[in-house]
């Protein structure tokens, strides 16, 4: 077992898009690697059921979307199916012969070199005493573990679900996120976690508190655990307290860089990853004590159960990690239990599901090809890769005079500007109505075009982020809608070729030749530069008069936090030893970039 965490590996593969990690556990869990499935798109889940059941020579029985609680049923059955496949793979692997090319050998060769199991495996391979060799092999087989099968729910994707009663009246029946959570809760996954991202959802979290599956076992552990993805310590404290008061323990806080990550980007007010991790490190025990006090009281009140000891809380981090040295520094200096490697694994077909055409785009991606776009209908900034088939399809619709997408999934349908029933801002219906409204305003040409571009820029993510699996497995997700959207983090530009699982894991653990150039800036510097660019954008934005006072306050906070972050990095112990002199050289250059904005910043504050 790994010395620190008790799990085989010191990294995990985070959720990516909808399709890209939809079956990642089937690909990597038997090798002890943890990964996260998105369960928000149940039509995609149903499509994957139709693909994987025949691989087991089992009959695929469709679950119609018209069935009662179909969303939860689809999710439960798919997770059970994935678990069945993984457990079967793992048992076959565990009973394999220790010989060159076998999967059991691959399992141990992939482990980090400081793993006690890895070291014992190497001892066995050198051993000449057959009896001792058999004893070690038996011990190794007994202590092998598959990687956890975790799921992700983006808390804000909680669209109301409706049914029509006998009188024809539409009434509320459930909601997206709650149904997804129910599907996970009813699954037979164990030693598994649900990862919540995007903040507090009272309805979802209150429902979570009603589920017995997330309660502590008599042994003091959890069959199903809760992980909360956060951007800073304050967010962890707020969400942790909210859940603890309802008798839910957060087993892990997963810190994600605000800007140096893929998918939706939730920029902080200039708080940088290093200082954020430092605060978690220094306040971890305080966090545990605070949450346990509330958790213990809630459980005593709810079930009359006296909790005598706080369960452990793990801290993990993800967003822009690219080298073994960075990974090692995060583990050693900040004492994180796991690091998330997402974007690089998009170039590992043995781990993720990316169609061939998109793989070629990813491999060739340059800095100019990755944009922090406004494409998401959620109104949250979203990293996009240019040149995708989704981008081409969107442009073709605009050229044909019918902008917007058919809205088949409606997971992002939240806008009620023109309709009683919520619709999606990427839909044809919304864009038609919004453009008609824009024409009536008779704005100056520049402002009209700017607003028109904003309307037309929205992109269907439900289908675009799902189609890669349909293409890869020769399935149909939505008829006549085959375009692919992909959302890698900025770090993708430093990974330029498709590689094997073994090659990527060796890169993470510092074995063999590095996959990236030595010219790549350190992840902390890369994030700092992204925040400086973001600040520059905010300084140049056109803010309505009534919002200017608040905007000035925001800019002052943002600028001050960046300056404090730079000072923190300048005094960060051990960073030069691990990262070398270029770190401080690049830090000085970044500070000069920030200082170059100071005059513009000062003028705005004085205005």
Q: What is the pLDDT of residues 214-240, one digit of tens each?
A: 999 888 899 999 999 999 999 999 999
Sign of CA dihedral 56, 61, 62, 67: negative
The model's pLDDT over 412-426, given as tens digits with 9 standing for 90+, comes to 999 999 999 999 999
The answer to whether residue 574 scores a pLDDT higher than 80 is no
The model's pLDDT over 6-16, given as tens digits with 9 standing for 90+, comes to 689 999 999 99
- Residue 526 CA to residue 590 CA, distance in Å, equals 9
The model's pLDDT over 364-385, given as tens digits with 9 standing for 90+, comes to 999 999 999 999 999 999 999 9
- The number of angstroms, rounded, from the C-alpha of 149 to the middle of its chain's C-alpha atoms is 14
Q: Which residue ranges make up each domain of the chain?
A: 389-485, 521-607
- SS3 labels along 263-276: CECCCCCCCCHHHH
Specify the pLDDT at position 117: 96
- Which single residue is written with the structure tokens 């992700």? 152
Q: Which of 392, 382, 341, 386 is nearest to 362 (CA)?
A: 386
The model's pLDDT over 184-212, given as tens digits with 9 standing for 90+, comes to 999 999 999 999 999 999 999 999 999 99
Q: What is the mean pLDDT of residues 555-578?
A: 89
Q: At what angle do helices 548-570 and 523-540 cross, to 10 degrees?
A: 160
Average the pLDDT over each of 65-74, 135-144, 296-305 and give the range with the smallest value: 296-305
Specify the pLDDT at position 87: 98
List, as one string, the DSSP characters of 69-105. Answer: THHHHHHHHHHHHHHHHHHHHHHHHHTS-SSTT-HHH
The model's pLDDT over 249-305, given as tens digits with 9 standing for 90+, comes to 999 999 999 999 999 999 999 999 999 999 999 999 999 999 999 999 999 888 767
The answer to whether residue 409 scores a pLDDT higher than 70 is yes
- Residue 96 CA to residue 115 CA, distance in Å, equals 21
Specify the pLDDT at position 165: 55
Strand 34-38 to 11-13 pairing: parallel
Q: Nearest 5 degrees, angle CA 147-CA 149-CA 151?
A: 145
Could you give the 3-state DSSP secondary structure of residue 597? coil
List, as one string, the DSSP characters of 296-320. Answer: HHHHHHHH-----SPPP-EEEEESS
Average the pLDDT over each of 483-487, 488-492, 582-586 and give the range with the smallest value: 582-586
- Residue 201 CA to residue 40 CA, distance in Å, equals 15
Residues 6+ apart with CB under 8 A from 181: 153, 194, 204, 207, 208, 211
pLDDT band at 84 (very low <50, low <70, confident <90, very high): very high
The answer to whether residue 171 scores a pLDDT higher than 70 is no
List, as one string, the DSSP characters of 351-390. Answer: TS---HHHHHHHHH--GGGEEEES--TTSS-EEEETT-HH
Specify the pLDDT at position 317: 98
Specify the pLDDT at position 304: 66
The model's pLDDT over 354-367, given as tens digits with 9 standing for 90+, comes to 999 999 999 999 99
Residues 6+ apart with CB under 8 A from 228: 195, 196, 236, 239, 240, 243, 250, 252, 253, 254
pLDDT band at 576 (very low <50, low <70, confident <90, very high): low
Specify the pLDDT at position 578: 56
Question: By percentage, how much of the chain surpasses pLDDT 90?
Answer: 88
Specify the pLDDT at position 382: 97
Residues 6+ apart with CB under 8 A from 110: 9, 31, 32, 33, 501, 502, 505
Q: What is the mean pLDDT of residues 306-315?
A: 91
Q: What is the mean pLDDT of residues 430-440?
A: 98
Specify the pLDDT at position 169: 43
Residues 175/159, Cβ–Cβ less than 8 Å: yes
pLDDT band at 65 (very low <50, low <70, confident <90, very high): very high
Residues 397/405, Cβ–Cβ less than 8 Å: yes
Could you give the 3-state DSSP secondary structure of residue 262? coil
- Residue 323 CA to residue 342 CA, distance in Å, equals 13
- The distance in angstroms from the start CA to the end CA of the chain is 60
- Residue 346 CA to residue 370 CA, distance in Å, equals 15
Q: Is 399 exposed, middle or buried (0-12, 13-18, 19+ CB in 10 A)?
A: exposed
Specify the pLDDT at position 3: 41
The answer to whether residue 454 scores a pLDDT higher than 50 is yes
- How far CA 467 is from CA of 354, 463, 471, in Å, comes to 9, 6, 6
- SS3 labels along 471-499: HHCCCCCECCECCCCCCCCHHHHHCCCCC
Mean pLDDT taken over the chain:
94
pLDDT band at 28 (very low <50, low <70, confident <90, very high): very high
């Amino acid at each position: 077992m790994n010395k620190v965490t008790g799990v085989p590996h010191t990294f995990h593969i985070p959720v990516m898009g909808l399709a890209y990690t939809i079956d990642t556990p089937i690909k990597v869990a038997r090798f002890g690697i943890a990964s996260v499935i998105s369960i928000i798109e149940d039509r995609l889940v149903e499509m994957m059921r139709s693909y994987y059941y025949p691989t087991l020579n089992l009959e695929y029985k469709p679950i119609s979307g018209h069935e009662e609680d179909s969303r939860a049923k689809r999710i439960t059955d798919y997770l059970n199916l994935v678990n069945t496949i993984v457990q079967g793979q793992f048992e076959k692997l565990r009973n394999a012969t220790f010989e060159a090319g076998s999967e059991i050998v691959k399992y141990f060769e992939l482990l980090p070199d400081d793993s006690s199991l890895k070291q014992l495996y190497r001892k066995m391979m050198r051993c000449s005493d057959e009896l001792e060799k058999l004893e070690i092999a038996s011990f190794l087989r007994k202590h092998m573990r598959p990687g956890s099968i975790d799921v992700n729910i983006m808390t804000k994707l909680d669209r109301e679900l409706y049914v029509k009663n006998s009188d024809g009246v539409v009434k509320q029946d459930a909601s997206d996120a709650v149904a997804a959570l129910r599907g996970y809760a009813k699954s037979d996954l164990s030693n598994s976690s649900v990862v919540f991202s995007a903040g507090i959802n009272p309805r979802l979290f209150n429902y979570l508190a009603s589920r017995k599956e997330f309660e502590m076992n008599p042994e003091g552990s959890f069959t199903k655990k809760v992980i909360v993805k956060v951007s800073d310590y304050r967010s962890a404290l707020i969400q942790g307290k909210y859940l603890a008061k309802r008798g839910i323990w957060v087993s892990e806080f997963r810190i994600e860089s605000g800007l140096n990550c893929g998918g939706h980007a939730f920029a902080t007010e200039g708080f940088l990853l290093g200082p954020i991790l430092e605060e978690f490190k220094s306040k971890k025990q305080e966090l545990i004590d605070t949450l346990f006090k509330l958790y213990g009281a809630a459980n005593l009140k709810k079930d009359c159960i006296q909790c005598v000891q706080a369960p452990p809380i793990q801290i993990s981090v993800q967003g822009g990690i690219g080298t073994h040295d960075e990974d090692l520094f995060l583990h050693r200096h900040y004492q994180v239990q796991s690091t998330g490697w997402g974007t690089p694994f998009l170039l590992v077909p043995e781990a993720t599901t990316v169609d061939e055409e998109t793989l070629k785009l990813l491999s060739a991606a340059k800095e100019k090809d990755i944009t922090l776009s406004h494409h998401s209908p959620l109104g949250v900034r979203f990293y996009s890769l240019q040149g995708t088939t989704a981008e081409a399809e969107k442009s073709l619709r605009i050229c044909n005079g019918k902008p917007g997408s058919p809205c088949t999934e409606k997971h992002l349908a939240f806008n009620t500007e023109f309709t009683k029933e919520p619709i999606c801002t990427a839909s044809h219906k919304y864009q038609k109505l919004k453009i008609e409204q824009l024409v009536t305003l008779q704005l100056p040409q520049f402002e009209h075009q700017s607003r028109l571009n904003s309307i037309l820029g929205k992109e269907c993510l439900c289908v675009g982020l799902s189609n890669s699996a349909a293409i890869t497995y020769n399935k149909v997700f939505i008829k006549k809608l085959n375009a692919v959207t992909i959302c890698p983090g900025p770090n993708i530009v430093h990974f330029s070729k498709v590689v094997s699982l073994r090659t990527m894991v060796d890169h993470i653990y510092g074995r063999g030749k590095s996959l990236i150039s030595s010219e790549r800036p350190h992840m902390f510097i890369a994030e700092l530069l992204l925040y400086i660019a973001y600040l520059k954008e905010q300084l140049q934005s056109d803010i309505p008069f009534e919002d200017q006072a608040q905007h000035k306050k925001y800019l002052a906070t943002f600028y001050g936090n960046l300056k404090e972050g730079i000072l923190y990095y300048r005094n960060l112990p051990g960073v030069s030893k691990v990262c070398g002199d270029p770190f401080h050289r690049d830090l000085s250059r970044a500070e000069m970039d920030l200082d170059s904005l100071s005059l513009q910043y000062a003028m705005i504050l004085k205005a």
